[in-house]
Amino acid sequence: MKTLKYSRQRESIKACLMGRRDHPTADDVYLSIRQEYPNISLGTVYRNLNLLVELGEVQKLSFGYGPDRFDADLIPHYHFVCKNCGTIADLPLKPFPELNREAQQCCEGRIDSHSTYFYGMCRNCMFREPPQD
């Protein structure tokens, strides 16, 4: 069988993710880790991020456009995406289980989960941008 072996790179990747709140992309993580391990390769970052997702230690966020993001905060929560600047923010909002129940009532298959992203304009952009007409 395939056993998991320790790797300092993986530790560093996980530590990096746990240390930030900005939902970095694989490339963001790569740039950050490079300061400690200057010749880590991007492929290693991707492989370990995916591994951590499989292990359930990290979650991957995919919303419509741009590269995927990673989040080490395992407490279930929704995300907000600013359509203007692309920033992702955590919403301190517990996922609604009743959504799955509602959907189940009109679905012939079995519903296990849902993913919801909220879109709009973040506070920063609201002040910086000209008001919409």
Q: Which residues contribute to the site for DNA (CB under 7 A)?
A: 1-10, 25-27, 37, 39-44, 46-48, 50, 66-68
Tokens standing for 29?
């993580």
Question: Is residue 64 within 8 Å of 88, Cβ to Cβ?
Answer: no
Question: Is residue 26 within 8 Å of 68, Cβ to Cβ?
Answer: yes
Question: Is residue 49 within 8 Å of 62, Cβ to Cβ?
Answer: no
- The binder of 86, among DNA, a copy of itself, none, by C-beta within 5 to 8 A per type, is none
Q: Residue 53 and residue 59: Cα distance in Å, rounded?
A: 5
Minimum distance between the CB of residue 121 and a copy of itself, rounded to whole angstroms? 5
Minimum distance between the CB of residue 132 and a copy of itself, rounded to whole angstroms? 10
How many residues in the chain?
A: 133
Of the residues 83, 86, 130, 133, which one makes contact with a copy of itself according to CB under 8 A:
83
- The binder of 37, among DNA, a copy of itself, none, by C-beta within 5 to 8 A per type, is DNA
Minimum distance between the CB of residue 83 and DNA, rounded to whole angstroms? 15
Q: Can residue 13 be called a binding residue for a copy of itself (CB under 8 A)?
A: no
DSSP letter, residue 105: H
